[in-house]
């Protein structure tokens, strides 16, 4: 088991520097253009694929890094380059993890490669869980999956919203209700293969930030997928539902409350979002530091004023603290430590709030220039707003942390 250390090994340092080069030379120069175009930056994804940064192998290697630091380093560097483009590059990973976590070996081998395609023909994937009336409240999900025994097919109906790569993905992973009585335990995930009739993109959202990442509704009308598209398979689902029904009956009879396995999965995945936030915050801080050194007012650089210098000190302190929380939680996930204080949620909460604060300070330090699209902090400030919203809002992270610490079902 890997001990926690802040000393990166040679491989990790090389990886970080290589990714930083890609972020600086390819991603950052393209950021303003794709933000204005509000379109998926296909040529940049293709470039990433050619270099091996957009591939299953690359992410699997980082995912299984025994120190846990592979994924946070990738996220920090790519999102340092640009958040919208980086999300277009790593968005497929959300769906891939859904299959890696719940799929059989055969399903992983069949579908995950189709999510990425190859460097000459790159593909995307989408993970469809949120719905118009089921955002934070996942239990309110309405999309139904009904089994048609005669044809061994599942029939999906419903509307998903806020889906990254929704409608333009090659493979969609859709979470749906198979037993409405069981709340989230009655949910299951399905692969919707490329070109399946009945799945279409609804409205594409025009967003405040991360505009190079495509976000849209996904409408499912009598979408029929073969039985083998149920992730994990029918036998496993039936066993899981039977267990959930037993436990529900025990609880109704005053039995012990069972821990939700999905919560453990979120604790392990949330630090990755924290790392994205650290990347954006660091990028804005660097621009602000540089600007404060070179911009003069009243006959001296603005950094000579404590009012500016102390802000920069606070910004950097917050970023370093956020990274430490992210690395701790990532290491805990990789070494299977129990998240007894919801450390994964803590890292996401702190890093995302830090990114919002730091990017706002950066805009202020750049004055009028910070408010224009001539300088990147305006975009970074818009981009940073997403981190306190997706993968569980800050309020939901606080709920999770408070419930974990207290054992009280705080509302
Ligand atoms: C750009 C973008 C990309 C996304 N990508 C995906 C994707 O790929 N796949 C996917 O499935 N989803 C995706 N989402 C959805 C995202 O996860 C949801 O937006 C998020 O979970 C919040 O849900 P909501 O927007 O419905 O807000 P709501 O749940 O309606 O929340 C509104 C406000 O109420 C607060 N609130 C809600 N409940 C409580 C409570 N109990 N206590 C205190 N405060 C509360 C929230 O914190 C928030 O401030 C994406 C969203 C965006 C904006």
Atom of ligand 1 nearest to the CA of 394: 47
- Taking the C-alpha atoms of residue 312 and residue 7, their distance in angstroms, rounded to an integer, is 25
Averaged pLDDT score across all residues of the chain: 95
pLDDT for res 258: 42
Q: Is 235 a catalytic residue?
A: no
**CATH number, position 373:** 1.20.140.10
Number of domains in the chain: 3
Is the model's pLDDT at 256 over the cut of 50?
Answer: no
Would you tell me the crossing angle of helices 28-37 and 377-384 to the nearest 10 degrees?
A: 70
Give yes or no for residue 393 CB within 6 A of ligand 1.
Answer: yes
What pLDDT, in 10s, does the model give residues 261-300? 567 678 888 999 999 999 999 999 999 999 999 999 999 9
pLDDT for res 260: 55
pLDDT for res 285: 98
Of the three residues 122, 147, 180, the one that is the final residue of a domain is: 122
Is the model's pLDDT at 255 over the cut of 70?
Answer: no
Tell me the mean pLDDT in the region 130-159.
97
Residues 65, 105 within the same domain: yes
Beta bridge partners of 125: 171
Residues 14, 91 within the same domain: yes
Atom of ligand 1 nearest to the CA of 395: 47
What pLDDT, in 10s, does the model give residues 143-152? 999 999 999 9
pLDDT for res 251: 76
Contact 71, 330 (CB under 8 A): yes
Would you tell me the crossing angle of helices 83-102 and 377-384 to the nearest 10 degrees?
A: 30
Is the model's pLDDT at 209 over the cut of 90?
Answer: yes
As to burial, measured by CB atoms within 10 angstroms (0-12 exposed, 13-18 middle, 19+ buried), residue 340 is exposed
Query: Which one of 35, 131, 135, 159 would you pick to mutate in the ligand 1 pocket, going by the greatest count of ligand atoms within 8 A of its CB?
Result: 135
**Å from CA of 370 to ligand 1 middle:** 28
Give yes or no for residue 164 CB within 6 A of ligand 1.
Answer: yes
Tell me the mean pLDDT in the region 391-399.
97
Task: Residue 59: give the domain boundaries.
Answer: 10-122
Residues 187, 229 within the same domain: yes
**Å from CA of 138 to ligand 1 middle:** 10
Residues 108, 166 within the same domain: no
Give yes or no for residue 159 CB within 6 A of ligand 1.
Answer: no
| Residue 169 φ then ψ, to 5° | -80, 155
Give yes or no for residue 128 CB within 6 A of ligand 1.
Answer: yes
What pLDDT, in 10s, does the model give residues 319-377? 999 999 999 999 999 999 999 999 999 999 999 999 999 999 999 999 999 999 999 99
Residues 163, 116 within the same domain: no
Of the three residues 220, 252, 284, the one that is the final residue of a domain is: 252
- Taking the C-alpha atoms of residue 347 and residue 391, their distance in angstroms, rounded to an integer, is 12
Contact 169, 215 (CB under 8 A): no
- Taking the C-alpha atoms of residue 52 and residue 56, their distance in angstroms, rounded to an integer, is 9
pLDDT for res 254: 60
Residues 233, 295 within the same domain: no
What pLDDT, in 10s, does the model give residues 27-62? 999 999 999 999 999 999 999 999 999 999 999 899
Contact 60, 74 (CB under 8 A): no
**Å from CA of 131 to ligand 1 middle:** 9
Give yes or no for residue 127 CB within 6 A of ligand 1.
Answer: yes
What pLDDT, in 10s, does the model give residues 186-203? 999 999 999 999 999 999
Query: Which one of 171, 211, 389 would you pick to mutate in the ligand 1 pocket, going by the greatest count of ligand atoms within 8 A of its CB?
Result: 389
Residues 268, 390 within the same domain: yes
**Å from CA of 223 to ligand 1 middle:** 25
% residues pLDDT > 90 (the chain): 90
Of the three residues 106, 122, 138, the one that is the final residue of a domain is: 122
pLDDT for res 338: 94
pLDDT for res 3: 87
Nearest CA to ligand 1 atom 25: 135
What 3 state SS string does the chain have?
Answer: CCCCCCCCCHHHHHHHHHHHHHHHHHHHHHHHHHHHHCCCCHHHHHHHHHHCCCCHHHHHHHHCCCCCCHHHHHHHHHHHHCHHHHHHHHHHHHHHHHHHHHCCHHHHHHHHHHHHEECCEECCEEEECCECCECCCHHHCCCEEEEECCCCEEEEEEEEEEEECCCCCCEEEEEEECCHHHHHHHEEEEEECCCCCCEEEEEECCCCCCCCCCEEEEEEEEEEEEHHHECCCHHHHHHHHHHHHHHHHHHHCCCCCCCCHHHHHHHHHHHHHHHHHHHHHHHHHHHHHHHHHHCEECCEEHHHCHHHHHHHHHHHHHHHHHHHHHHHHHHHHHCCCCCCCCHHHHHHHHHHHHHHHHHHHHHHHCHHHHCCCCCCHHHHHHHHHHHHCCCCCHHHHHHHHHHHHHCCCCC
**Å from CA of 207 to ligand 1 middle:** 14
In this prediction, residue 21 has a pLDDT band, given cuts at 50, 70 and 90, of very high
As to burial, measured by CB atoms within 10 angstroms (0-12 exposed, 13-18 middle, 19+ buried), residue 74 is buried
For 93, the token pair is: 């990973």
């Amino acid at each position: 088991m890997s001990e926690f250390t802040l000393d990166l090994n040679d491989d990790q340092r090389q990886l970080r520097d290589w990714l930083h080069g890609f972020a600086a030379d390819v991603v950052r120069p393209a950021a303003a253009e794709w933000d204005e175009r509000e379109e998926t930056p296909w040529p940049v994804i293709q470039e990433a694929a050619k270099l091996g940064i957009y591939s299953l192998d690359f992410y699997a290697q980082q995912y299984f890094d025994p120190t846990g630091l592979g994924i946070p380093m990738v996220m920090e560097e790519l999102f340092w380059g640009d958040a919208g483009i980086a999300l277009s590059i790593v968005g497929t990973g959300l769906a891939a993890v859904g299959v890696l976590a719940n799929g059989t070996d055969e399903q992983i081998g069949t579908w995950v490669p189709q999510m990425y395609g190859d460097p000459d023909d790159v593909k995307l994937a989408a993970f469809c869980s949120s719905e118009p009336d089921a955002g934070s409240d996942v239990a309110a999900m309405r999309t139904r999956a009904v089994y048609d025994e005669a044809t061994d097919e599942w029939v999906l109906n419903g509307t998903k919203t806020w889906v990254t790569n929704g409608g333009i993905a090659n493979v969609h992973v859709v979470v749906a209700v198979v037993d409405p009585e069981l709340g989230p335990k009655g949910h299951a995930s399905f692969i919707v293969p490329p070109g399946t009739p009945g799945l279409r993109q609804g409205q594409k959202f025009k967003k405040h930030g991360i505009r190079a990442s495509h976000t849209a509704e996904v409408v499912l009308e009598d979408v029929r997928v073969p039985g083998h598209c149920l992730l994990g398979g029918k036998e496993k689902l039936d066993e899981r539902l039977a267990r959930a029904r037993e436990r529900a009956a025990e609880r109704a009879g005053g039995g012990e409350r069972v821990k939700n396995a999905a919560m453990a999965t979120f604790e392990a995945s949330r630090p990755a979002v924290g790392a994205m936030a650290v990347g954006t915050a660091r990028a804005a801080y660097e621009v602000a530091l540089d600007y404060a050194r070179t911009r003069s007012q009243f006959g001296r650089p603005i950094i000579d004023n404590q009012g500016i210098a102390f802000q920069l000190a606070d910004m950097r302190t917050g970023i370093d603290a956020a990274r430490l929380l992210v690395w701790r939680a990532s290491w805990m996930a990789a070494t299977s430590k129990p998240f007894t204080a919801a450390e994964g949620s803590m890292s996401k909460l702190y890093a995302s709030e830090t990114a919002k604060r730091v990017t706002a300070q950066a805009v202020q330090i750049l004055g009028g220039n910070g408010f224009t699209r001539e300088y990147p902090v305006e975009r970074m400030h818009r981009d940073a707003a997403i981190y306190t919203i997706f993968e569980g809002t800050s309020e939901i992270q606080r709920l999770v942390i408070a419930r974990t610490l207290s054992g009280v079902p705080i509302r």
